[in-house]
Amino acid sequence: MTKNAIVLGAGIVGVSTAIHLQRRGRQVTLIDRKAPGKETSFGNAGLIQREGVVPYGFPQQLGVLVRYAFNNRIDAHYHLKALPGQLAFLARYWWNSNAKRHEMISRAYAPLIQHSISEHNDLIEASSAQHLIRKNGWMEIFRTAGKRDAEFAEAERLRAEFGISYEQLDAAGVARLEPHINGDFVGGLRWRDPWSVLDPHGLTMAYRAYFESLGGRYVTGDANSLGRSGGNWRVVTSEGSLDAEDAVLALGPWAAVATRRLGYAFPLGVKRGYHMHYAAAENATLNNWTLDAERGYFLAPMNRGIRLTTGAEFAAMDAPKTPVQLDRAEKVARTVFPLGERLDPEPWMGARPCTPDMMPIIGKAPRHDGLWFAFGHAHHGLTLGPVTGRALAEVMTGERPFVDISAYSPQRFNP
């Protein structure tokens, strides 16, 4: 008999996992409280970051920490009243970000990133989503020679150690690629390997349509209703109770609550982020996904308009929006590129699910049969969705995974 599986969470990770399980002969139902791709997967810079082998660490330099303490930056912001509840997570995050630990973590993390383009390409072709993809990398631009030279040196290290391809740009090179960018930029760095996505939500929806073409189903339901029913897992959906032999939790930042109900205590934190779309004024064109490296905001030319994204906000996940970073970023970005009117009625906000060792949680639940975890991808959920989905589906169906996922085991937090 065909085994049933339920995948809770219809972001890019959940949809990708559902596809790979369906391909392997499981009858899969994808479940979410909202339409697929409407939460964390909706708001990002739209990059499949093949160069992102080094996860984002917590600053170690005292001077940098002092500057962040003033809470007036674009790349990071915090709610003071939320910090006491996040201190344990932040302390572990800081410790794992020391040079020696961070290097070890990067080497363990790199195999996932290595396959990000090839695994997305598989699903892009299968779902006929090529029109949503650009394959010309992305660019950082630098205001100071010190930052430029440090990033050039790091790029060369990544080339030597991980095979990452890049191009150094002088000021004239930046102007050639982006004639409508203004400012005293001393150079740039173009990462050649990554792909960019013109509509991240559209990509998730294309993957969903492909999943359904394979015979998979999507229904709305409540992940908090998940529980045991005999030897199966049961969840309440809009179509009634549904039982399955296997259940996958791909709930992003909501995974902490769902797993806590089942007796687990993952140290899952969140980094909130914001975006807004803008028209381009003065017939200007932005050709590349572009990071203003010293200021910490991103400009991405997407189908809806130019998406401006912010860095990380440390706050309670359900706290009201405080898009001060977006306002700061917009003020600076308007001096760099001729942004027109805002195209969204209000800033979008989402929450990235983060672990203190910067690696996702992928694998079998330590104390439950038929329960599987796939969350905690932080800044690289879009990048790593298909890699995670394939590797987890292979483990679930008894195959040898194409990439070793032992480093991401849930047991490192819940033995």
In this predicted structure, the answer to whether residue 161 has a pLDDT above a threshold of 60 is yes
pTM for this entry: 0.97
Query: Which residue stretches of 262-407 are H helix?
Result: 324-336, 381-396
Task: Identify the architecture of domain 1-56+98-134+195-264+357-414 in CATH.
Answer: 3-Layer(bba) Sandwich (3.50)
**DSSP secondary structure letters along 351-367:** EEEE-TTS--EEEE-TT
Output the pLDDT for position 1: 57
pLDDT in tens, 138-151: 999 999 999 999 99
pLDDT bin (cut points 50, 70, 90) of residue 78 is very high
Q: In whole numbers, what is the pLDDT of the chain averaged over residues?
A: 96
In this predicted structure, the answer to whether residue 41 has a pLDDT above a threshold of 90 is no
Tell me the C-alpha distance between 387 and 384, whole Å: 5
Mean of pLDDT values over 205-227 = 97
pLDDT in tens, 290-345: 999 999 999 999 999 999 999 999 999 999 999 999 999 999 999 999 999 999 99
Output the pLDDT for position 126: 98
**DSSP secondary structure letters along 55-113:** --PPP--HHHHHHHHT---SSEEE-GGGHHHHHHHHHHHHHHTSHHHHHHHHHHHHHHH
Mean of pLDDT values over 369-398 = 98
DSSP designation for 293:
T
> Structural domain boundaries of the chain?
1-56+98-134+195-264+357-414
Share of the chain above pLDDT 70, in %: 100
Query: Residues 179, 171: contact at Cβ < 8 Å?
Result: no
Output the pLDDT for position 36: 82
Query: Residues 46, 120: contact at Cβ < 8 Å?
Result: no
Output the pLDDT for position 38: 82
Mean of pLDDT values over 187-199 = 98
In this predicted structure, the answer to whether residue 174 has a pLDDT above a threshold of 80 is yes
Tell me the C-alpha distance between 27 and 36, whole Å: 18
Which H helix or E strand runs over 282? none
Mean of pLDDT values over 123-136 = 98
pLDDT in tens, 340-367: 999 999 999 999 999 999 999 999 999 9
Q: Give, rounded to a whole angstrom, the gap between the first and last alpha carbons of the chain.
A: 33
How many other C-beta atoms can be found within 10 angstroms of the C-beta atom of residue 260? 12
In this predicted structure, the answer to whether residue 2 has a pLDDT above a threshold of 80 is no
In this predicted structure, the answer to whether residue 118 has a pLDDT above a threshold of 60 is yes
Residues contacting 406, CB < 8 A, separation 6+: none
141: β partners: 188, 292
Mean of pLDDT values over 235-254 = 96
Output the pLDDT for position 34: 86
Output the pLDDT for position 286: 98
In this predicted structure, the answer to whether residue 194 has a pLDDT above a threshold of 90 is yes
Share of the chain above pLDDT 90, in %: 94
Tokens of 411: 């047991």
